[in-house]
Structure 1
Amino acid sequence: MGVVTPFPAAGGRPSQIGFDRLELTRILDLYGRMVAAGHWRDYAIELGRDAAIFAAFRRAAERPEFRIEKRPDLRNRQGMWALVNEAGMVLKRGHELGPVLAPVERRLLKLVE
């Protein structure tokens, strides 16, 4: 007979961290509004073992202006969401995505005025 490979346990650590549909919709909605305002031009998504990262760029050939990071390992500590600026400094950290995106959304309001 053939070799049976066991299915990974549901309670085990996932091999890749990702964004769920609602999280990605919220992030891409903000991205679309920033593109419409003429501020962002490109984005990248990195899905790894420890974190899922959405990076927004002013131009494609530079460092990302903002990174939105999801790190589930920090869920019980500072919160799994972090907003990181171009220099790598954490601007906002929290347990929910909405408050973490607030500084960028406030910036968008200033751009429109």
Structure 2
Amino acid sequence: MTEVVTFEQARRRHHPKAGGTNPKGKSQFFNRQELRDILQSYSRGVIAGDWLDYAVDWSETGAAFAIYGQVSAVPIFSIVKRAKQGRRTAGYQLVGRGGILKSDRALGAVLKMLDSRRTALVKS
């Protein structure tokens, strides 16, 4: 049986919680270059037929780019940008259904892991 949930319930259920707040009190989002890099990686997955849709979410604590498969209400992967907290620099995470797959200060490292995960799915 299908369960009906609100967008807020789905977001809380499928996106990892971020700790702390953005010191400026502004929403955290991907900049133009980051979004371009993420969309290029996402496009390769769409062209290969692995991914069908995406969603973008943001708040004071971070931003998330969720990637959905062919018939899925749950994101296969989420690329999360965490807001800078105190002395800690902003960071990126690749989150899969099983939890955090990769954390790094550089978006490129996270996208490289995403591409390798996608090709691993195709080969199996």
TM-score, normalising length from structure 1? 0.77
RMSD: 2.3
Structure 1 window deviating more from structure 2 (98-107 vs 29-38): it is: 98-107
| CA 1:69–1:42: 2 relative to 1, 3 Å | same
Structure 1 residue 108, shift from structure 2 partner: 3.9
Structure 1 window deviating more from structure 2 (31-40 vs 52-61): it is: 52-61
Hey, what does 1:99 align to over in structure 2? 109
The answer as to whether partners of 1:42 and 1:60 remain within 8 angstroms in 2 is: no
**Matched residue SS, 2:84:** helix
Aligned counterpart in structure 2 of residue 16 of structure 1, from 27, 30, 55: 27
| Larger relative contact order, structure 1 or 2 (CA cutoff 8 Å, min sep 6) | 2
Which protein has the larger Cα radius of gyration, Structure 1 or Structure 2? 1
**Which consecutive unaligned segments of at least 5 residues does structure 1 have?**
1-11
Structure 1 runs of 4+ aligned residues shifted over 4 Å read 74-79
Q: Percent identity?
A: 33
Number of residue pairs matched? 100
